[in-house]
Amino acid sequence: MREVPKHIGFIMDGNGRWAKARLMPRTAGHLAGLKALKKVIKGCVEEGVSYVTLYCFSTENWTRPKDEVDYLMGLFSEKIMGELPFYNENGIRLLTLGDISVLPDDARKALLEAVEATKGNTKITVQLAINYGGQDEICRAVNAALAEGITKITPEVIRAHFDNPDVPPADLIVRSAGEKRLSNFLLFDSAYSEFVFYDKLWPDWGAKDVSAAIDEYNSRTRKFGGVKQ
Ligand code: IPE
Ligand code: IPE
Ligand code: MG
């Protein structure tokens, strides 16, 4: 039987290259990427995936040109709440992942508002990873545990202090645009993830690509360090 991964993480890469190929500014690629993102989420809902993590902005992406960073922050503040009917019609509960305390006020408020407005949806949970870095996530969790007086750090303690401890580790991590690296995504929760890399640039993605990635996931044998006959 075809097994649907419970949690898929998407490294949405290639927006800039997509725009460059069309002689458009990189920002146009990000806008096109947003449209692809909706198609991919819909595909995940149709497949019955329970959790999706979308890598939207890394702790390293602040080093990009200011106009590009400003544009992305603008997308978070202006577009997220505008999609409320889409989330509610599809049963999407939004969560944020990453340190959003340092985001511009408008973006942070829009994200918190969207999380609040969708908290009753139960079909799928979508984590928006913004100002997210896997190293930062682990350090924040360890510091939170130390601040509580915990002196023995274990994998369980670290997980329990994550932003959303109830979200399980990623079964499948998918990256678009040909690059074969994690770029600081889900370092802890990718311990036993399967990886799928496709050359297609993110703005060209849709539900069919989700289905293809799940097919490829089904061709893998997960062993978690054990032995499978
Ligand atoms: C991914 O696309 C989107 C973000 C990192 C926000 P890129 O902007 O990295 O696109 P390329 O890699 O330059 O093509
Ligand atoms: C990873 O893509 C970050 C996001 C998708 C948000 P990058 O384009 O920033 O990663 P590198 O620089 O190619 O490793
Ligand atoms: Mg990139």
Q: How confident is the prediction along the chain (229 residues), in pLDDT tens digits per residue?
A: 999 999 999 999 999 999 999 999 999 999 999 999 999 999 999 999 999 999 999 999 999 999 999 999 999 999 999 999 999 999 999 999 999 999 999 999 999 999 999 999 999 999 999 999 999 999 999 999 999 999 999 999 999 999 999 999 999 999 999 999 999 999 999 999 999 999 999 999 999 999 999 999 999 999 999 998 7
The domains located in the chain, with CATH, are: 7-131+170-218 (3.40.1180.10)
pTM: 0.98
Q: Is residue 136 helix, strand or coil? A: helix
Give the side-chain half-sphere CA count within 13 A for 29: 19
DSSP string, 36-89: HHHHHHHHHHHHT--EEEEEEEETTGGGS-HHHHHHHHHHHHHHTGGGHHHHHH
Sheet hosting strand 124-132, strand order edge to edge: 92-97, 124-132, 51-58, 7-11, 172-175, 194-197
Written as six digits, the tokens of 126 are 């979508």
| CA 15–ligand 3 middle distance (angstroms) | 7
Pocket test for ligand 2, best of 96, 183, 190, 205 (most atoms within 8 A of CB): 183
Written as six digits, the tokens of 19 are 């725009």
Pocket test for ligand 2, best of 61, 96, 135, 197 (most atoms within 8 A of CB): 61
Query: Which residue, among 98, 167, 104, 100, has the nearest Cα to 132 in the 3D structure?
Result: 98
Q: Whose CA is nearest to atom 2 of ligand 2?
A: 13
The Cα 187–Cα 137 span in angstroms is 9
| CA 120–ligand 3 middle distance (angstroms) | 33
